[in-house]
Amino acid sequence: MEDLQKVVQGIRPLNKDYLTQAQIRLDNLTKPVGSLGKLEDIARRYASIKEDLNPSINNKVIFTFAGDHGVVDKHVSAYPRSVTVQMVLNILAGGAAVNVLARHVGARVVVVDMGVDYDFEPVEGFVIRKIGYGTRDFTEGPAMSYDNAVRSIKTGIDLADEYADKGVDMIGTGEMGIGNTTPSSAIQSVLTGLAPAEVAGRGTGINDETLRNKIDVIETALAVNRPNPDDPIDVLAKVGGFEIGGIAGLIIGGAYRRIPVIVDGFISTAGALIAVAMNPAINEYIFYSHLSSEAGHRKMLEKLKQEPILQLDMRLGEGTGGAIAMTVIEAAIKIMAQMATFESAGVDKASI
Protein backbone atom coordinates (compact mmCIF):
# COMPACT_ATOMS: atom_id res chain seq x y z
CA MET A 1 0.00 0.00 0.00
CA GLU A 2 2.89 2.31 0.79
CA ASP A 3 4.41 1.48 -2.61
CA LEU A 4 1.10 2.13 -4.37
CA GLN A 5 0.77 5.58 -2.81
CA LYS A 6 4.39 6.34 -3.68
CA VAL A 7 3.73 5.55 -7.36
CA VAL A 8 0.44 7.47 -7.42
CA GLN A 9 1.89 10.53 -5.74
CA GLY A 10 4.97 10.35 -7.95
CA ILE A 11 2.96 11.28 -11.04
CA ARG A 12 3.43 14.96 -11.87
CA PRO A 13 1.41 17.31 -14.09
CA LEU A 14 2.78 17.69 -17.63
CA ASN A 15 5.61 20.12 -18.26
CA LYS A 16 3.88 23.00 -20.09
CA ASP A 17 7.09 23.96 -21.90
CA TYR A 18 6.67 20.93 -24.18
CA LEU A 19 3.11 21.95 -25.03
CA THR A 20 4.41 25.36 -26.07
CA GLN A 21 7.33 23.99 -28.05
CA ALA A 22 5.10 21.47 -29.83
CA GLN A 23 2.65 24.26 -30.73
CA ILE A 24 5.44 26.38 -32.22
CA ARG A 25 6.53 23.42 -34.31
CA LEU A 26 2.98 22.69 -35.49
CA ASP A 27 2.44 26.34 -36.42
CA ASN A 28 5.50 26.27 -38.69
CA LEU A 29 4.19 23.39 -40.78
CA THR A 30 2.70 24.03 -44.24
CA LYS A 31 -0.95 24.33 -43.22
CA PRO A 32 -3.18 27.06 -41.83
CA VAL A 33 -2.64 27.49 -38.08
CA GLY A 34 -4.79 25.05 -36.11
CA SER A 35 -6.30 23.48 -39.24
CA LEU A 36 -5.60 19.91 -38.15
CA GLY A 37 -7.81 20.37 -35.08
CA LYS A 38 -7.74 17.43 -32.69
CA LEU A 39 -4.70 15.92 -34.42
CA GLU A 40 -2.74 18.94 -33.24
CA ASP A 41 -4.11 18.65 -29.70
CA ILE A 42 -3.10 14.99 -29.66
CA ALA A 43 0.41 15.61 -31.02
CA ARG A 44 1.03 18.42 -28.53
CA ARG A 45 -0.05 16.41 -25.51
CA TYR A 46 1.69 13.25 -26.67
CA ALA A 47 4.95 15.17 -27.02
CA SER A 48 4.48 16.59 -23.54
CA ILE A 49 3.87 13.16 -22.00
CA LYS A 50 7.02 11.79 -23.63
CA GLU A 51 8.93 15.04 -23.16
CA ASP A 52 10.05 14.54 -26.75
CA LEU A 53 9.04 16.70 -29.72
CA ASN A 54 9.70 13.84 -32.12
CA PRO A 55 8.45 10.76 -30.31
CA SER A 56 8.64 7.42 -32.05
CA ILE A 57 5.82 4.89 -31.95
CA ASN A 58 7.21 1.43 -32.58
CA ASN A 59 5.68 -0.79 -29.96
CA LYS A 60 1.98 -0.65 -29.16
CA VAL A 61 0.26 -3.05 -26.79
CA ILE A 62 -3.41 -3.42 -25.87
CA PHE A 63 -3.98 -5.12 -22.52
CA THR A 64 -7.29 -6.96 -22.36
CA PHE A 65 -8.01 -7.66 -18.69
CA ALA A 66 -10.49 -10.44 -18.01
CA GLY A 67 -12.55 -11.17 -14.93
CA ASP A 68 -15.83 -12.65 -13.80
CA HIS A 69 -18.50 -11.06 -11.66
CA GLY A 70 -20.58 -12.64 -8.95
CA VAL A 71 -23.36 -10.13 -9.60
CA VAL A 72 -24.09 -11.93 -12.90
CA ASP A 73 -26.13 -14.35 -10.74
CA LYS A 74 -28.58 -11.45 -10.38
CA HIS A 75 -29.37 -11.50 -14.13
CA VAL A 76 -27.79 -8.20 -15.19
CA SER A 77 -26.37 -9.36 -18.56
CA ALA A 78 -27.67 -10.63 -21.90
CA TYR A 79 -24.94 -13.29 -21.92
CA PRO A 80 -24.23 -16.23 -19.61
CA ARG A 81 -21.14 -16.12 -17.39
CA SER A 82 -19.51 -18.89 -19.48
CA VAL A 83 -18.95 -16.39 -22.29
CA THR A 84 -16.08 -14.73 -20.39
CA VAL A 85 -14.03 -17.93 -20.68
CA GLN A 86 -15.12 -18.53 -24.25
CA MET A 87 -14.20 -15.01 -25.31
CA VAL A 88 -10.81 -15.17 -23.57
CA LEU A 89 -10.08 -18.28 -25.61
CA ASN A 90 -11.38 -16.52 -28.74
CA ILE A 91 -9.05 -13.56 -28.14
CA LEU A 92 -6.12 -15.90 -27.46
CA ALA A 93 -6.90 -17.60 -30.79
CA GLY A 94 -6.92 -14.24 -32.59
CA GLY A 95 -10.58 -14.30 -33.67
CA ALA A 96 -12.12 -11.48 -31.65
CA ALA A 97 -12.75 -7.93 -32.80
CA VAL A 98 -9.84 -6.58 -30.76
CA ASN A 99 -7.45 -8.97 -32.53
CA VAL A 100 -8.58 -7.85 -35.97
CA LEU A 101 -8.37 -4.17 -35.10
CA ALA A 102 -5.05 -4.49 -33.25
CA ARG A 103 -3.49 -6.27 -36.23
CA HIS A 104 -4.84 -3.53 -38.50
CA VAL A 105 -3.06 -0.82 -36.51
CA GLY A 106 0.09 -2.82 -35.77
CA ALA A 107 -0.55 -3.38 -32.06
CA ARG A 108 -0.18 -6.56 -30.00
CA VAL A 109 -2.93 -7.87 -27.72
CA VAL A 110 -1.92 -9.17 -24.30
CA VAL A 111 -4.71 -10.94 -22.43
CA VAL A 112 -4.52 -10.80 -18.64
CA ASP A 113 -6.53 -13.19 -16.48
CA MET A 114 -7.32 -11.06 -13.45
CA GLY A 115 -10.04 -13.31 -12.11
CA VAL A 116 -11.91 -15.47 -14.56
CA ASP A 117 -13.86 -18.39 -13.08
CA TYR A 118 -11.76 -21.01 -14.88
CA ASP A 119 -8.29 -22.54 -14.76
CA PHE A 120 -6.72 -21.78 -18.13
CA GLU A 121 -3.79 -23.66 -19.58
CA PRO A 122 -0.83 -21.30 -19.85
CA VAL A 123 -0.14 -20.23 -23.44
CA GLU A 124 2.27 -17.73 -24.89
CA GLY A 125 1.10 -14.14 -24.77
CA PHE A 126 -1.38 -14.92 -21.98
CA VAL A 127 -0.64 -13.40 -18.58
CA ILE A 128 -2.25 -15.21 -15.65
CA ARG A 129 -2.44 -12.98 -12.59
CA LYS A 130 -5.58 -14.43 -11.09
CA ILE A 131 -6.75 -12.71 -7.89
CA GLY A 132 -9.85 -14.89 -7.54
CA TYR A 133 -12.39 -16.93 -9.48
CA GLY A 134 -14.69 -13.98 -10.06
CA THR A 135 -15.80 -11.33 -7.58
CA ARG A 136 -18.47 -11.96 -4.97
CA ASP A 137 -22.04 -10.85 -5.67
CA PHE A 138 -21.83 -7.26 -4.39
CA THR A 139 -25.51 -7.04 -3.57
CA GLU A 140 -24.62 -9.20 -0.57
CA GLY A 141 -21.36 -7.58 0.56
CA PRO A 142 -18.10 -6.26 -0.95
CA ALA A 143 -17.08 -7.57 -4.38
CA MET A 144 -13.57 -8.18 -3.04
CA SER A 145 -11.42 -7.42 -0.01
CA TYR A 146 -9.61 -4.09 0.27
CA ASP A 147 -6.32 -6.00 0.00
CA ASN A 148 -7.42 -7.64 -3.24
CA ALA A 149 -8.47 -4.26 -4.64
CA VAL A 150 -4.94 -3.02 -3.93
CA ARG A 151 -3.51 -6.21 -5.46
CA SER A 152 -5.54 -5.79 -8.65
CA ILE A 153 -4.31 -2.21 -9.06
CA LYS A 154 -0.72 -3.21 -8.35
CA THR A 155 -1.01 -5.95 -10.97
CA GLY A 156 -1.82 -3.32 -13.59
CA ILE A 157 1.02 -1.08 -12.43
CA ASP A 158 3.49 -3.97 -12.58
CA LEU A 159 2.41 -4.80 -16.12
CA ALA A 160 2.89 -1.21 -17.27
CA ASP A 161 6.29 -1.21 -15.63
CA GLU A 162 7.32 -4.53 -17.15
CA TYR A 163 6.25 -3.53 -20.65
CA ALA A 164 7.82 -0.08 -20.32
CA ASP A 165 11.10 -1.87 -19.65
CA LYS A 166 10.47 -3.88 -22.82
CA GLY A 167 10.25 -0.65 -24.84
CA VAL A 168 6.49 -0.33 -25.26
CA ASP A 169 5.69 3.27 -26.18
CA MET A 170 1.87 3.29 -26.28
CA ILE A 171 -0.51 1.31 -24.09
CA GLY A 172 -4.19 0.59 -24.65
CA THR A 173 -6.70 -0.66 -22.10
CA GLY A 174 -9.40 -3.25 -22.74
CA GLU A 175 -11.46 -5.85 -20.94
CA MET A 176 -13.62 -8.92 -21.18
CA GLY A 177 -15.97 -9.82 -18.36
CA ILE A 178 -19.62 -10.72 -18.67
CA GLY A 179 -21.61 -8.39 -16.45
CA ASN A 180 -18.92 -5.73 -16.11
CA THR A 181 -20.99 -2.73 -17.14
CA THR A 182 -22.84 -3.22 -13.81
CA PRO A 183 -19.79 -2.60 -11.57
CA SER A 184 -18.68 0.16 -13.96
CA SER A 185 -22.01 1.95 -13.57
CA ALA A 186 -21.84 1.47 -9.80
CA ILE A 187 -18.34 3.00 -9.72
CA GLN A 188 -19.55 5.90 -11.84
CA SER A 189 -22.52 6.46 -9.55
CA VAL A 190 -20.33 6.63 -6.43
CA LEU A 191 -17.56 8.78 -7.95
CA THR A 192 -19.84 11.24 -9.79
CA GLY A 193 -22.79 11.39 -7.39
CA LEU A 194 -25.23 10.51 -10.19
CA ALA A 195 -28.06 8.06 -9.43
CA PRO A 196 -27.79 4.51 -10.85
CA ALA A 197 -30.76 5.18 -13.13
CA GLU A 198 -28.84 8.09 -14.68
CA VAL A 199 -25.74 6.09 -15.53
CA ALA A 200 -26.77 2.46 -16.12
CA GLY A 201 -27.15 1.35 -19.73
CA ARG A 202 -27.92 -1.65 -21.88
CA GLY A 203 -24.42 -3.18 -21.94
CA THR A 204 -24.27 -5.95 -24.52
CA GLY A 205 -27.94 -5.38 -25.32
CA ILE A 206 -30.34 -6.05 -22.43
CA ASN A 207 -34.07 -5.36 -22.68
CA ASP A 208 -36.11 -2.85 -20.64
CA GLU A 209 -36.96 -5.34 -17.90
CA THR A 210 -33.35 -6.43 -17.41
CA LEU A 211 -32.23 -2.79 -17.38
CA ARG A 212 -34.73 -2.00 -14.58
CA ASN A 213 -33.38 -5.01 -12.68
CA LYS A 214 -29.80 -3.85 -13.29
CA ILE A 215 -30.59 -0.45 -11.79
CA ASP A 216 -32.22 -2.13 -8.76
CA VAL A 217 -29.14 -4.31 -8.34
CA ILE A 218 -26.82 -1.29 -8.35
CA GLU A 219 -29.03 0.59 -5.89
CA THR A 220 -29.00 -2.42 -3.58
CA ALA A 221 -25.20 -2.75 -3.89
CA LEU A 222 -24.68 0.88 -2.92
CA ALA A 223 -27.09 0.60 0.03
CA VAL A 224 -25.52 -2.63 1.30
CA ASN A 225 -21.87 -1.58 0.88
CA ARG A 226 -21.89 2.22 1.30
CA PRO A 227 -18.66 2.74 -0.69
CA ASN A 228 -16.64 5.78 0.41
CA PRO A 229 -16.45 8.22 -2.53
CA ASP A 230 -13.31 9.74 -1.04
CA ASP A 231 -11.45 6.42 -1.16
CA PRO A 232 -11.34 5.04 -4.73
CA ILE A 233 -9.82 1.76 -3.50
CA ASP A 234 -12.79 1.27 -1.19
CA VAL A 235 -15.11 1.89 -4.16
CA LEU A 236 -13.23 -0.67 -6.27
CA ALA A 237 -13.32 -3.23 -3.44
CA LYS A 238 -17.00 -2.85 -2.72
CA VAL A 239 -18.60 -2.50 -6.19
CA GLY A 240 -15.76 -3.02 -8.67
CA GLY A 241 -14.13 -5.91 -10.48
CA PHE A 242 -10.67 -7.44 -10.74
CA GLU A 243 -10.26 -6.38 -14.39
CA ILE A 244 -11.33 -2.83 -13.56
CA GLY A 245 -8.64 -2.70 -10.88
CA GLY A 246 -6.14 -3.96 -13.44
CA ILE A 247 -7.13 -1.20 -15.84
CA ALA A 248 -6.83 1.47 -13.13
CA GLY A 249 -3.38 0.13 -12.30
CA LEU A 250 -2.26 0.02 -15.93
CA ILE A 251 -3.26 3.67 -16.31
CA ILE A 252 -1.39 4.64 -13.13
CA GLY A 253 1.66 2.65 -14.18
CA GLY A 254 1.60 4.11 -17.69
CA ALA A 255 1.43 7.66 -16.34
CA TYR A 256 4.24 6.92 -13.86
CA ARG A 257 6.44 5.70 -16.70
CA ARG A 258 5.34 8.53 -19.03
CA ILE A 259 3.69 6.21 -21.53
CA PRO A 260 0.50 7.56 -23.13
CA VAL A 261 -2.45 5.38 -22.15
CA ILE A 262 -5.28 4.94 -24.63
CA VAL A 263 -8.44 4.23 -22.67
CA ASP A 264 -11.10 2.24 -24.49
CA GLY A 265 -14.81 2.58 -23.68
CA PHE A 266 -17.20 2.50 -20.72
CA ILE A 267 -15.59 -0.12 -18.46
CA SER A 268 -12.08 1.15 -19.15
CA THR A 269 -13.22 4.67 -18.32
CA ALA A 270 -14.57 3.37 -14.99
CA GLY A 271 -11.00 2.24 -14.36
CA ALA A 272 -9.82 5.71 -15.35
CA LEU A 273 -12.27 7.30 -12.90
CA ILE A 274 -10.62 5.31 -10.10
CA ALA A 275 -7.09 6.15 -11.24
CA VAL A 276 -7.82 9.86 -11.70
CA ALA A 277 -9.58 10.00 -8.30
CA MET A 278 -6.29 8.84 -6.79
CA ASN A 279 -4.32 11.64 -8.47
CA PRO A 280 -5.94 14.12 -10.90
CA ALA A 281 -2.61 14.63 -12.74
CA ILE A 282 -3.04 11.11 -14.16
CA ASN A 283 -5.81 12.41 -16.43
CA GLU A 284 -3.24 14.32 -18.50
CA TYR A 285 -1.58 11.03 -19.52
CA ILE A 286 -4.79 9.51 -20.86
CA PHE A 287 -6.27 9.69 -24.35
CA TYR A 288 -9.94 8.69 -24.36
CA SER A 289 -10.31 6.74 -27.57
CA HIS A 290 -14.00 6.93 -28.36
CA LEU A 291 -17.46 7.80 -27.11
CA SER A 292 -19.21 4.53 -26.38
CA SER A 293 -22.90 4.24 -27.10
CA GLU A 294 -23.28 2.78 -23.58
CA ALA A 295 -25.58 5.30 -21.88
CA GLY A 296 -23.34 6.52 -19.04
CA HIS A 297 -20.13 7.03 -20.99
CA ARG A 298 -20.70 10.62 -22.02
CA LYS A 299 -21.22 11.63 -18.39
CA MET A 300 -18.04 9.81 -17.41
CA LEU A 301 -16.08 11.85 -19.96
CA GLU A 302 -17.78 15.04 -18.81
CA LYS A 303 -16.67 14.27 -15.24
CA LEU A 304 -13.13 13.74 -16.54
CA LYS A 305 -13.35 16.91 -18.70
CA GLN A 306 -11.92 15.18 -21.75
CA GLU A 307 -13.10 14.77 -25.34
CA PRO A 308 -13.10 11.37 -27.02
CA ILE A 309 -11.09 11.04 -30.26
CA LEU A 310 -13.71 8.97 -32.11
CA GLN A 311 -17.50 8.74 -32.12
CA LEU A 312 -18.29 5.51 -33.92
CA ASP A 313 -21.29 4.32 -31.84
CA MET A 314 -19.26 1.34 -30.67
CA ARG A 315 -20.04 -0.54 -27.45
CA LEU A 316 -17.96 -3.69 -27.62
CA GLY A 317 -15.05 -3.18 -25.24
CA GLU A 318 -12.05 -5.56 -25.39
CA GLY A 319 -9.91 -2.57 -26.41
CA THR A 320 -11.53 -2.17 -29.83
CA GLY A 321 -12.04 1.60 -29.71
CA GLY A 322 -8.55 2.06 -28.34
CA ALA A 323 -7.06 0.15 -31.25
CA ILE A 324 -8.59 2.48 -33.84
CA ALA A 325 -7.67 5.55 -31.81
CA MET A 326 -4.05 4.36 -31.72
CA THR A 327 -3.70 4.79 -35.47
CA VAL A 328 -5.23 8.28 -35.32
CA ILE A 329 -2.75 9.21 -32.60
CA GLU A 330 0.09 7.78 -34.67
CA ALA A 331 -1.10 9.89 -37.61
CA ALA A 332 -0.96 12.99 -35.40
CA ILE A 333 2.60 12.22 -34.33
CA LYS A 334 3.68 11.69 -37.93
CA ILE A 335 2.15 15.05 -38.89
CA MET A 336 4.39 16.76 -36.34
CA ALA A 337 7.47 14.76 -37.37
CA GLN A 338 7.22 14.55 -41.14
CA MET A 339 5.49 17.61 -42.60
CA ALA A 340 7.48 20.29 -44.39
CA THR A 341 7.76 23.74 -42.81
CA PHE A 342 6.82 26.97 -44.59
CA GLU A 343 10.53 27.73 -44.84
CA SER A 344 11.71 24.31 -46.07
CA ALA A 345 8.95 24.13 -48.71
CA GLY A 346 9.11 27.80 -49.77
CA VAL A 347 5.43 28.39 -49.06
CA ASP A 348 4.14 31.88 -48.18
CA LYS A 349 2.43 32.36 -44.82
CA ALA A 350 -1.03 33.86 -44.36
CA SER A 351 -1.16 37.54 -45.29
CA ILE A 352 -3.92 38.50 -42.85
- Selected binder of a second copy within 21, 23, 28, 90 (CB under 8 A): 90
- Cα–Cα distance list, 144 to 4, 25, 41, 148, 229 (Å): 18, 49, 39, 6, 17
Q: Cβ 114 to a second copy, closest distance in Å?
A: 20
Q: Does 309 bind a second copy (CB under 8 A)?
A: yes
Taking CB under 8 A as the criterion, the residue among 2, 124, 165, 348 binding a second copy is 348
Interface residue with a second copy among 69, 239, 314, 319 (CB under 8 A) is 314
E-state strands within the chain: 60-67, 107-115, 126-128, 170-176, 261-263, 286-288
In SS3 terms, 144-188 reads as CCHHHHHHHHHHHHHHHHHHHHCCCCEEEEEEECCCCHHHHHHHH
Which residues are CB-contacts of 100 (< 8 A; sequence separation ≥ 6)?
Answer: none
> How many angstroms separate the CA atoms of 172 and 319, rounded?
7
**The only residue of 20, 193, 334, 343 in contact with a second copy, by rule CB under 8 A:** 334
The catalytic position among 40, 243, 294, 318 is 318
Task: Please tell me whether residue 58 binds a second copy under the rule CB under 8 A.
Answer: no
Strand partners, 109: 62
Binding status of residue 330 toward a second copy by CB under 8 A:
yes
Residue list 208-247, contact with a second copy (CB under 8 A): 210
Tell me, yes or no, if 330 is annotated catalytic: no
Does the protein bind a second copy through residue 86 (CB under 8 A)?
yes
User: Of the two residues 19 and 310, which places its CB atom closer to a second copy in the complex?
Assistant: 310
Torsion angle of the four alpha carbons 52, 322, 81, 69, in this order, in degrees rounded to the nearest 10: 40
Which residue from 14, 79, 136, 219 is in contact with a second copy, where contact means CB under 8 A? 79
Catalytic residues: 318
Residues that bind a second copy (CB under 8 A): 29-39, 78-80, 82-83, 86-87, 89-90, 93, 95-97, 99-101, 103-105, 204-207, 210, 293, 309-316, 320, 324, 327-328, 330-331, 334-335, 338-340, 344-348, 350-352
